[in-house]
Amino acid sequence: MFDRHMVLDQLGGWRGMVDATLPTIAFIVANSLDGLRTGIWAALGAALLVFLLRLLRRESVQQAISGLFAVGIAVAIAAFTGQARDFYVPGIIRNAGLAVVLLGSVVIRRPLVGVIAEFLAPSHLGAMASHRHPVPGFRGRVGRARAVLDPTERDPETGRARPDPAPEQPWREDPRLLRAYGWLTVLWAVVFLVRAAVQGYLYLGSENTDATDLGVVS
């Protein structure tokens, strides 16, 4: 069983997002300045640097290992074909795949946005969880997020967050909440579809170029 507090810690917040984008930025800059080979080494170097920094800071390296693996696949494809644009192929496939998964989750009545939101910030926690307010509001989510980060909510002996109380009603049994999460999931699916379409269009038009425009939108 997953511990949502552990997952939140492993995501790394804003620093985790910055770490994830550094290899791509390094590739874009180096490739545009000195060609594909330099771009490949710059991307690998940036991914390895992120991994080493996390080790030195004694932070979770799971995300860094995943990023290093993803960069390795991207640079391998680009090196094999000799085309800078192929560095972005995994990202295009990822965006299209995420769109399909999101839409599929709505079809089976398990909207993925709801699954993730209820895992990270369960709607049954806090004042917004009563049956009179079935759809969680922004203020309620902020309050629950603060509760997760509040050290007074942690076990003084282990330092871990205390287990969440069980919900009185599963969120999937609330029609309004299920519908809201469903529409949000469809919206995110459209975003990923549009990104994949734009990237695909730029990919087709960037043969034998440094594909900088494709990198910027990736």
- Domain boundary residue, one of 62, 82, 102: 82
Average pLDDT, the chain: 79
Helix axes 4-11, 112-120, angle to 10 degrees: 100
Shared domain check, 47 and 66: yes
Residues 67 and 92 in one domain: no
Domain count, the chain: 2
**Are 75 and 96 members of one domain?**
no
Q: Are residues 101 and 190 in the same domain?
A: yes
- Residue carrying structure tokens 């730029």: 202
Report pLDDT digits (tens) over 66-117: 888 999 999 999 999 999 999 999 999 999 999 999 999 999 999 999 888 8
Q: What is the mean pLDDT of residues 191-206?
A: 94
Higher-pLDDT residue of 58 and 133 is 58
* pLDDT range class, residue 149, cuts 50, 70, 90: very low
pLDDT at residue 13 greater than cutoff 60: no
Q: pLDDT tens digits, residue range 30-55?
A: 999 999 999 999 999 999 998 888 88
What pLDDT, on the 0 to 100 scale, is given for residue 188? Answer: 95
pLDDT for the residue numbered 216: 84
Q: Which residue has the higher pLDDT, 46 or 62?
A: 46
pTM as predicted: 0.70
Contact 131, 169 (CB under 8 A): yes
- The pLDDT of 55-67, averaged and rounded, is 78
Q: Are 28 and 212 in contact (CB under 8 A)?
A: yes
141 and 122 share a domain? yes
The domain of 164 spans 84-218
Asked if residue 96 and residue 37 are part of one domain, the reply reads no
pLDDT at position 96 is 96
